[in-house]
Structure 1
Amino acid sequence: MSGFEFDIEAPDLRGLLGSLKEFSPALARDLRRDLRSSGDDIIAEQRKLLTGNLPGPINKQGLELRWIRPKNGRKPYLAFRNTYETGDGSDGGVDNLRAKIRAGLKTRVTAGRVRSDVAVRSTGPRNGGSNMARVFQAKIFRHPVFGSRSWAYQQGIPYFWGPAYRGADQMREKVTGLLETAAARLAKDN
């Protein structure tokens, strides 16, 4: 899954980490560790959403004729679309996919020549070339049933973007504060 990123209005992250590494490798290591922990609140909220009750089953109920209004400005048209019926959720069941998604949530620090960022990402489990963390984010998705040629509909949990948007300002303030503190400490000791 592509992650949640934002720009930081601070000194060049790569240059700052390089200067800190020359001055004090321990300070550079501590700054990277603190930057990686800046997204912990967002990740905790995402993990909380993934540990709730299991979503209920979804069954295709039939077809319905609907008006489709294209976003590119073309004329609206009538088309058949599937209708679904959702059941109640449960507390038990297999939690393997959600556990792997929870384990893959990380805050990544990149300080390269081309790009410098601090991002909350999900590596997520891969299945057949698909990142299942991205698939599970959808409201409804289809997957093959083990041992059968049929496909089943499953209800996903939109877990990623809500906590990321709600916690973005707080994370941005943490990152900016950490970078300003490190730059001030470097300037004071030089």
Structure 2
Amino acid sequence: MTRGGVTPNIALDTSSVRTRFERIKEFSPALARRVRRDFRQSGDEIISEQRAILDGPLPRGVAVVGQRTRRTYNAKTKRIVKRRLNVYGDRDVKRPGRSRSNDEDGVGLREGIKKSLRTRVVITEKRTSIAVRTTNAKRTGATFWQAKRFRHPTFGHRDRMQYQAGMPYFWEPAFRGAEAAAARVDASIDEALAEISD
């Protein structure tokens, strides 16, 4: 997940979308507002799929089960070096995770991420994009929860770090639903243009 939790933009013919949207806006600002609202709903199917994943069972625990050696090329020294990397495995946790209140709003981690998912629409002269993203990813934990695994301090003690499995919820629905979302955007514009021509 990129910083801020932005997906690859939904593939659009940006010049065509912008030109057609400008025609709608010139004819009727109220109709243009309705079309923008439709744009914001174009990512609803992606978001609902992401939320369904977040509603699923919590992932199992993670433990370091061994190490492996990997040979890598060091560009600075121009030498091949060996690196020791951890090997991870699943494990059962003694106490399964609970939905805790992790912020002042009293919202659990996964609930906070679900509430932060949005479809962002930008239509300007320089840029036209529609993307599903998370808002305030650092506060909600959206970025680290997307990872396959992450480390966190045990009860706040930074000298004792624990591995935990994440729950990749973001990219698969985003890529799978991008084409349908783009088609929905085109359909919204075509419908509005048909209203103008009637």
Q: TM-score, normalised by structure 2?
A: 0.78
CA contact (8 A) 1:10 1:179 kept: no
User: Which residue does 2:32 correspond to in 1?
Assistant: 28
Q: TM-score, normalised by structure 1?
A: 0.81
- Over 3 Å counting, the alpha-carbon distance change for 1:15 and 1:146 in structure 2 is farther
User: Which residue does 1:170 correspond to in 2?
Assistant: 180
SS state at 1:85 partner = strand
Picking from 96, 109, 113, the partner of 2:121 is 109
SS state at 1:157 partner = coil
Return 5+ residue gaps in structure 1 as ranges.
none
Number of residue equivalences: 183
User: Which residue does 2:143 correspond to in 1?
Assistant: 134
CA offsets per residue over residues 43-80 of structure 1, 9 Å max, x none?
10000001111112222234x2333466x9x9875421
2:89 aligned with 1:85: yes
Picking from 67, 70, 80, the partner of 2:70 is 67
Q: CA deviation at 1:115?
A: 0.7
Q: Which amino acid aligns with 2:52?
A: K
SS state at 1:80 partner = strand
Task: Flag as ranges the 4+ runs of structure 1 deviating above 3 A.
Answer: 10-19, 67-70, 74-78, 88-92
Return 5+ residue gaps in structure 2 as ranges.
101-107
CA contact (8 A) 2:154 2:161 kept: yes
CA contact (8 A) 1:105 1:123 kept: yes
User: Which residue does 2:103 correspond to in 1?
Assistant: none
Partners of 2:192 and 2:14 lie apart in 1 by: 11
CA contact (8 A) 2:21 2:189 kept: no
Q: Which amino acid aligns with 1:139?
A: K
Partners of 1:93 and 1:7 lie apart in 2 by: 38
Q: CA deviation at 1:98?
A: 1.2
